[in-house]
Amino acid sequence: MTNLQSLDLFWPELIITVVILTALIVDLCIEKSKSDVVGWVLVIGLLITAIAIWNQDKTTTTLFTDMIVLDPFATFFKLLIILSTLLVAVVSWQNNELDEYRKGEYFTLLGILVLGLFLMASSIDLIMVYISIEVVSIMSFILAGYLKLDTRSNEAGLKYVVYGAFSSGIMLFGLSILFGLTGSTNYFIIQKSLAGLDGSASAALVMALLMILAGFGYKISAVPFHFWTPDVYEGAPTTITAYLSVAPKAAGFAIIIRFFHQVFADGGALADAESLSMTDVPWPEIIGILAVATMTLGNLVAIQQESIKRMLAYSSVAHAGYMMLALPVLSIQTVYAIMVYLVMYLFMNLGAFFVVITVKNKTGGETFDDYRGLGWEMPFIGVVMTLFMLSLTGLPPTAGFIGKFYIFSALISGGSQYYWLAIVGGINSVISLYYYFHVVKVMFLEGERKETLVQPPEVMSGVLLATAIPVFLFGIYWNPVVNWVQNSLIFYVQTM
Amino acid sequence: MYRDFGTVLVAVILGIVMVAIPLLIQKLIAPSKKSKDKLQTYECGEEAEGSAWLQFNIRFYVIALIFLIFDVEIVFLFPWAVVFKELGLLALIEMGIFLIILIAGLAYVWVKADLDWVKRNVRYGTGRYQDVRMEKTT
Amino acid sequence: MIVPLEHVILLSLALFSIGVFGVLFRRNAITIFMSIELMLNAVNLALVGFSRYYDSVDGQVFVFLVMTLAAAEVAVGLAIIIALYRNRQTVNIDEINLLKN
């Protein structure tokens, strides 16, 4: 579609742009003590955007002369991103870490982050891929270092910006090689040119692929591009940690699925047909090995952590590994499984981090020692945290179990060459049982029991319920999620 | 092709010669009387004072950052200016929106007083500026 | 006269490698950022070379956007370095190690 026609289908992004500018200007007109108002601008704006997305035509088409794509798959990720942003924005009002600072920029930056994530979920052009990833990265750098008086937050920001700029530079070189091999930046044209490429170029292609994987792997914090994850997650404001562990990861998976299925495979899987890898580059094997390394390392290092926030950081690395397990199988079931897992992961991981925020507001700490006997002092927090830990381990009847179930069944239906991936995944789930239950043990079995009960503030209780209920409900009755994902499995695709 | 480079070479040689000749003439006919004042570094007629290796005020960095951001956006204006006539009104509106967003950024910097030079104490003054302490004026 | 594509690619690869080694082995945060800039400009060179080779403007458009985003990235990076310097009085990566196991 041409540029002017595209605008008609681009309303959600346009609304977000207006929301960002409004938030920026509103922030300039109010005092520091009232800067929470900007949060309202963002929340209301996101709700309007969600309505706009919901009412959008269910067409599949490309916009702006093949720069981005509009299809139910992208819409699914957009709604997921809005949901997580709304939850995080509401919790940000309650986060005591931010009290000393103006929150206006904070919410404005969250808005820009949403715009970048939207573009990530829908880009089909190397230029758009780079722009959207950079927009998301740059906003995350600032937000990670937002507590500018806190040295740990500064350090998180610096580490994030160095690793981020380095890996996006490497990815960019990969993209330029891909452009050099094919002469185009458009996914569909690249796909056709790659199919016609002779064997002599495959060394360059492998190099390009590995370099691009560095950029994508960095966004979903896959081994060996995960070095930033624990440090940034520990130093950043906890609300941002929660957000980074969910929304950019979801968009990262969206971009990976689209890129590998459309550029390095014939796109058949996305059209629900048999699919083949287009080149002799062994990319499914590479991703399989990375997935195994990611979850094993995440789980093994998580065991040794003393800080719950850092433990959850490594656990989110491990969860990226579980989702990556399904990528090597070129079938629509695996895309389906990853999407189901992302929905479940959103609720349980955000919930766990929100508990960390509540506890930090009260005790000022985030190590295991601060959680001693907490289950008796704050029974609601104890029960909810236990539920999230059960779910992150993947035990029934919780959402995490359903997510893992879909991933493993997609692997097994992919054929016998993927069984080993499923087995390693199973072993890893057992390892993770140890450190997740350590939290539960510390909360209920250690420390002295205090008789006085402490209630968390109403807003936090409400948000925790809003994440805990889905975690429990989707463990028993997961049809709504499955139906939603099923209806979203429509791609704009060009098969060969 | 060698002719193209030959032209450049001739231009370079001519340039060097044209500068060298006046310098040489000046050396030959001008009287040379060296004194302490004459050998000093030229600093707009002022007496040079202190070392140049002092720590610069951090305000320079902030101004430089702001300049960097707005400067680079010009790169989008050049291609637009080239094809502006063919694209007509639509391109004008598009660039207007782009510039409005940029101006919102400028307004932000302005209101946040990052364009004001005198905002905080001069912490790093040396030499004759050592004793200057500017108090907050905004 | 046109410079052959191979020369452009080799130069770009050399610049890129210098940048990568700079990031890996330098310990000053500012120098690391300069190395990252070098990497990005190496990519720009490659893109312009390919663009010339294929006679398409896609690569040049890409270069424009890379330049802008690189500027934004460096601005944010320098701002973070300034914030860190105010608190810690150092820009040495090795001394910035509060977040460790």
User: What pLDDT, on the 0 to 100 scale, is given for residue A496?
Assistant: 67
| Residue in A396, A399, A395 with CA at minimum distance from that of residue A351 | A399
Query: Is residue A339 a part of any domain in this protein?
Result: yes
Give the HSE-up count for residue A306: Cα atoms under 13 Å, Cβ half-sphere: 6
Q: Does C83 touch chain B (CB under 8 A)?
A: no
**Could you tell me the fold of the domain covering C5-91?**
Helix Hairpins (1.10.287)
Query: Is residue A195 a part of any domain in this protein?
Result: no
Among partner residues A127, A157, A177, which is closest to C62 by beta-carbon distance? A127
Chain centroid to CA C32: 9
Binding partners of C (≥3 Cβ pairs within 8 A): A, B
pLDDT over 90 at B125, yes or no: no
Angle, CA A162 vertex, CA C36 and CA C100 arms, to 5°: 150
- Inspect the interface and report whether the beta carbons of C64 and B69 lie closer than 8 Å: no
pLDDT over 90 at B40, yes or no: no
pLDDT over 70 at B118, yes or no: no
Q: Does B90 touch chain A (CB under 8 A)?
A: yes
The SS3 call for residue A123 is strand
In this complex, how many residue pairs, one in chain B and one in chain C, have their CB atoms less than 8 Å apart?
Answer: 27
Chain B residues within an 8 Å CB radius of A24? 104, 108
User: Which residues of chain A register pLDDT less than 70?
Assistant: 274, 278, 496
Query: What is the value of ipTM here, to two decimals?
Result: 0.96
User: What pLDDT, on the 0 to 100 scale, is given for residue B119?
Assistant: 55
| Mean pLDDT for chain B overall | 78
**Most confident segment among A28-32, A278-282, B16-20, C90-94:** B16-20
User: What pLDDT, on the 0 to 100 scale, is given for residue A456?
Assistant: 86
Angle, CA A462 vertex, CA A40 and CA A399 arms, to 5°: 115
User: What pLDDT, on the 0 to 100 scale, is given for residue A266?
Assistant: 79
B window 2-21, beta carbon within 8 A of C: 4
Chain centroid to CA B16: 26
Chain C residues within an 8 Å CB radius of B65? 75, 78-79
Q: Does B69 touch chain C (CB under 8 A)?
A: yes
Domain that holds residue A378: 282-488
**Could you give the dihedral angle defined by the CA atoms of residues A381, A385, A388 and A392, in that order, rounded to the nearest 10 degrees?**
160
- Inspect the interface and report whether the beta carbons of C68 and B75 lie closer than 8 Å: yes
**Separation in Å, CA of A152 to nearest CA in chain C:** 7
Angle, CA B129 vertex, CA B127 and CA B134 arms, to 5°: 155
Chain C residues within an 8 Å CB radius of B76? 64, 68
pLDDT band, very low/low/confident/very high, at B138 (cuts 50, 70, 90)? very low
To which residue do tokens 């939290």 refer? Answer: A439
- Inspect the interface and report whether the beta carbons of A179 and C58 lie closer than 8 Å: yes
Best probe of the C interface among B4, B65, B66, by most C CBs < 10 A, is B65
User: What pLDDT, on the 0 to 100 scale, is given for residue B73?
Assistant: 85
Q: Tell me: the pLDDT tens digits for A313-330?
A: 999 999 999 999 998 888
Whole-angstrom distance, CA of residue A360 vs CA of residue A255: 34
% helix, strand, coil for chain B, step of 5 = 65, 0, 35
Number of domains in chain A: 1
The partner residues of A61 in beta bridges, in order of sequence, read A70
The partner residues of A125 in beta bridges, in order of sequence, read A186
Query: Is residue A259 a part of any domain in this protein?
Result: no
Q: Does C30 touch chain A (CB under 8 A)?
A: no
Q: Tell me: the pLDDT tens digits for A397-445?
A: 899 999 999 999 999 988 888 899 999 999 999 999 999 999 999 998 8
Q: Tell me: the pLDDT tens digits for C58-68?
A: 899 999 999 99
- Inspect the interface and report whether the beta carbons of C64 and B4 lie closer than 8 Å: no
Each domain of chain C, given as residue ranges in start order, spans: 5-91
User: What pLDDT, on the 0 to 100 scale, is given for residue B1?
Assistant: 63
Cβ atoms of A130 and A169 within 8 Å: the answer is no
Query: Is residue A229 a part of any domain in this protein?
Result: no
pLDDT band, very low/low/confident/very high, at B128 (cuts 50, 70, 90)? very low
Q: Is the peptide bond before A224 cis (omega within 30 degrees of 0)?
A: yes
Chain C residues within an 8 Å CB radius of A183? 50, 53-54, 56
- Whole-model pTM: value is 0.89
- Alpha-carbon torsion A417, A225, A231, A165, what sign? negative
What are the phi and psi torsion angles at C92 (to 5°)?
-85, 125
Chain B residues within an 8 Å CB radius of C72? 69, 72
User: What pLDDT, on the 0 to 100 scale, is given for residue B43?
Assistant: 73
- Inspect the interface and report whether the beta carbons of A127 and C56 lie closer than 8 Å: no
pLDDT over 70 at C34, yes or no: yes
Among chain C residues, the shortest Cα distance to B5 is held by C1
